[in-house]
Each structure stands twice: as C-alpha cells, then as structure tokens.
Chain A
Amino acid sequence: MSSIIRASMLCLMLSAVAGTLQAAPGGRLIATGGAMTVEGAAGGGIVPWALLAGYAEDEQFGGSAWYTQVQPKDFTMQAYGAALSLHNRVELSIGKQRFDIDEVIPGEQLEQTILGAKLRLNGDLIYTRLPQMTLGLQYKKNDTFAIPESVGARDDKGLDIYLAASKLWLDGPFHRSLFLNATVRATRANQGGLLGFGGDRRNRLSLQAEASAGLFITRQWVLGVEYRQKPDNLGFAREDDWYDVFLGWFPSKRVSLVAAWSDLGSITGLDDQTGVYLSLQVSQ
C-alpha cells in the first residue's frame, strides 16, 4: 500500500513539475489558488479552503507542488506534496508529513500520508455573490502507528470530511481585497492524524470549525490569520486548537511563499508549541 502511495505521489509530483515547465499558468487571477495546507489541500497553512490548487479555469488543468516546514518549540515538522486540479472543479492531492518527536522519545518521528479530494460544488470566489463552496475528503494513513497506539489511539487511518466556503471582496476594508473562509470538518484525527484516529476519551467523529481571514495589501502580498478547532480524543495528553498569523507573497502565478507564526498549543504533553511556519509552492 505505502509503495503504491509513494509511486503515485512521485508520479503526481513529476507531472506537476513537467506541467509547470511546459505552459504558462492557468487562467485564474493571481493568488486565487491560495497556498497549500500541511495536509496537501489548497488553503491557508492549516485550514483547507474552497479554492482549488493552482490556476486552472473551467477548460484547463492545474496544480501545485509544495514543501512546508514548521518549527514549534520542541518539534520539527516537514511536509510536502502535490495537487492536481481539473477544470476548476476537482482537486486531487497527496501529502506526506514527518513530525520529529525527538524531545519526547529520542530518535522517533511520527509520519502520515494524506490522500485528498475536493469537489467544487458551486460559486466563484470573486464573480458570484454567494461564496465558492467545496466539499473535501482527506484519507489519512498513519505510517508510524505503534506510538499513537501505545497512547490510546484506536485506528491508524481515518477519513476527514469537510465543507468549505470562500469569498473574496475585491474592494474590502481600506479599499483592500478581503478574503474570508469558513470550513466545517468532521474528523476523528488526533493532532491532525499524526497521533492516529479516535482515542480512549472519545472515539466518534466530531464536528470542528475552522476559519481564515486575509487582507491583500497589494495583489502580491496578503496578511491573514487562521484558526482551527481540534478534537481532544486522547487521555494521555491534552490537544489544543491551532492558530496562525501569516504573510503570503505571490510574486507571480508560478511561485508563492508563506511565512507564518503558528501556535499549535500542547503536543504530547509539551505545552506552548509556537514557532515559525515556512512554505513554498510552485503552481500551474
């Protein structure tokens, strides 16, 4: 299974890179593909948005390949992946996360693979009065389940289902473009899935609210905030909601960079996991 996932991931990455080198990026306006979340869906850093990765319009293919590093106080998280979007309707993605827990168990890390799919239901980020609405799925497979299992996680895989609504007002406050997104997610994931799915305290799906807001200072620079509510299924350690404040730079449709200050709360009993978040994406 994992070799198939790795092979398909490599394929996706290569096709994304190949596509990138071939033609000009797709026909949507700059920054309307958003950035890429640590879970591989187009969005902010931690919240998936209703936007689809890259710049494909209704008659085009697009996508993004990305790499993200998060540096909370006691851990290091590396994540990378690629997403393909078809006709601004469907997004397929794969992402891989590696979370170094050396501070807790020397030499160990948590890993998971995430396969994602999004379907844009209706609406357009800019041109319709109602927001763009997207239904998304994330199939997550923890690749290092021995550790989560030992602290009470029930499953090594889980399915997140979310509904996202995104809207951009071109002429927002201070005559700057305002972006808002709201997402509702049903999930059993512990720390996004890095600590498995379900737990001794709670083993059911729970609904979580997520939100992002961003103000475009110019077409290239966006300043924003994100919030992601999280379940707290495991008895061994508390799990907190996530926050971040981000600065996104879109020098062209091809490349974007996001720098953020993230607050991941308490992780495996170590509190106050704040730190820098950096992400690079190459888009088509």
Chain B
Amino acid sequence: MKPSYSMAMGRLRRCLAPTVLHMLVAILVGACSATSPAKPEMTLYEQLGGEAGVEQLTTDFIREIAADERIKGRYRQTDIGRFHRMMTEQMCMETGGGCTYSGDDMLQTHAGMKITRVEFNGIVEALMRAMDRNRIPQGVQNQLLALYAPMHADIVNR
C-alpha cells in the first residue's frame, strides 16, 4: 500500500512543481497582455447600464457615503443635488459616456480638506457597496475602481 501511495505522490509532486511555474507564467503573461489594447467592445459606461445605470449607481453611492460614520460628516455642508449631478457627470466622462464634466478637478475640490487615507478607503468601500447593490459584475466593478483609484494622489492629505 505504502510504496504505491508514495509513487503516486511522487508523480503528483513532479507534476505539481511545473504546474505551479506554468500558472505563474500564465498569470504574468495575462498581466502583460491585459495592458495592450483589446478589440473594440462596449464602453464601461454602457456596461454600467448607460445613463439610467450610472444615475442609479451614483444615487446609491451617495446613500452609502451618507450611511458611513467615518465619512458622512465631510458632506454635512454639501449641496447633495449638485454633488449628485457632478458625480454622475464625472462618472459618465470617465467611463466613456461622452459627457463633459463641468465641476472642479479633484485636486481643487479637496484642497485644504486633509482627507485621510481611512476616509478615502471609506469612500472606495461605499462605492463597492453601491456597485454590489446594483449587481454590477466584478469585472465591471474592477474597471471602475481602477479609474477612480489614481484619484488618491489628488484627494488624500491635500
């Protein structure tokens, strides 16, 4: 019993080591090819459900922010109607929906606010919850998060 078990494990082991290396290589190659332009597909705006989808997402995003103890205090003085319009415009522009964002840029908007890293992550988590609530698929969520994450540099500790 024992020898055949150990032979089987030996085969498995000789099989596993190259498999692990292949997986590493496959992931690395995948990472590289993912950055090259893909064939034309739906814009992210369309994948988010177009005008109605983005409108609903930003509404839920603001709801989630307002419900989060860590960040809601920041928006006490905010004109929520304008905030919603600006956020929707910005998301439409960023995701290829063809809108023009008429608000101030992120650096100007957050200048002097000293937004902390905890608060920024709180906002990211609010966006994640809003996307979950709208049943947006993980791949679409990741594309939107990747568009917004670089804003960290313009928003945090300014």
Q: Which residues of A contact B (CB under 8 A)?
A: 26-29, 57-60, 73, 124, 126-127, 169-178, 180, 211, 213, 215, 217-219, 225-227, 243-245, 261, 263, 265, 271-272, 274
Tell me which of B13, B28, B122, B139 contacts A272 (CB under 8 A). B13
Q: Which residues from A are CB-within-8-Å of B116?
A: 57-59
Q: Is B142 within 8 A of A29, CB to CB? A: no
Give the chain B neighbours of A171 by CB distance below 8 A. 34, 142-143, 145-146
Instruction: Please name the 10 residue pairs, one residue from A and one from B, whose CB atoms are nearest each other, closest first.
Output: A175-B139, A173-B30, A27-B118, A171-B146, A127-B152, A170-B146, A173-B34, A243-B20, A272-B13, A171-B142
B-side residues, CB < 8 A to A, are 6, 9-10, 12-13, 16-17, 19-21, 23-24, 27-28, 30-31, 33-34, 70, 116-118, 121-122, 124-125, 128, 138-140, 142-143, 145-146, 149-150, 152-153
Find chain B residues with CB under 8 A from A245 CB: 16, 19-20, 23
B128 / chain A contacts, CB cutoff of 8 Å = 219
Residues of A within 8 A of B117 (CB): 27, 57-59
Using known A-B contacts A225-B23, A274-B16, determine if residue A178 contacts B118 with beta carbons closer than 8 Å.
no
Bound-state Cα–Cα, A217 to B141, Å? 12
CB distance from B119 to the nearest CB of A (A): 8
Contact A243:B17 (CB < 8 A) given known A173-B27, A175-B139? yes
| Cβ of A15 to closest chain B Cβ, rounded Å | 21
Complex-state Cα separation, A217 to B146, whole angstroms: 16
If A28-B121, A170-B146 touch, whether A175 touches B140 (CB-CB below 8 Å) is: yes
B32 CB to nearest A CB, Å: 9
Cα A113 to Cα B21 in complex, Å, equals 31
Q: For residue B2, give the distance in angstroms from its CB to the closest CB of chain A.
A: 10
Report whether B24 and A175 are in contact in the complex, using a CB–CB cutoff of 8 Å: no
| Bound form: Cα–Cα A59–B30 in Å | 36
Distance (whole angstroms) from the CB of B47 to the closest CB of chain A:
10
Bound-state Cα–Cα, A248 to B143, Å:
22
A252 → chain B closest CB, angstroms: 12
Q: Which of B21, B138, B149 contacts A219 (CB 8 A)?
A: B138
Do residues B142 and A175 form an inter-chain contact, with CB atoms below 8 A?
yes
Between-chain CB contacts (< 8 Å), 21 pairs: A29-B125, A58-B116, A58-B118, A59-B116, A126-B149, A171-B146, A172-B31, A174-B34, A175-B139, A176-B138, A176-B142, A178-B30, A180-B31, A213-B23, A213-B24, A225-B20, A243-B17, A245-B19, A261-B16, A272-B9, A274-B13
Contacts of B33 in A (CB 8 A): 173
A272 B20 Cβ-Cβ under 8 A: no
Check A243/B118 contact, CB under 8 A, given A172-B30, A225-B24: no
Interface contact A274-B9, CB-CB below 8 Å: yes
CB <8 Å contact, A176 and B139: yes
Asked whether A272 and B30 contact (CB < 8 A) given A219-B128, A245-B20, the answer is no
Given A29-B121, A171-B142 in contact, is the A178-B27 Cβ separation under 8 Å?
A: yes
B19 CB to nearest A CB, Å = 8
In the assembled complex, the Cα of A172 lies from the Cα of B121 at a distance in Å of 20
Q: Which residues of B contact A27 (CB under 8 A)?
A: 70, 117-118, 121-122
Would you give the shortest CB distance from B7 to chain A, in whole angstroms?
Answer: 9
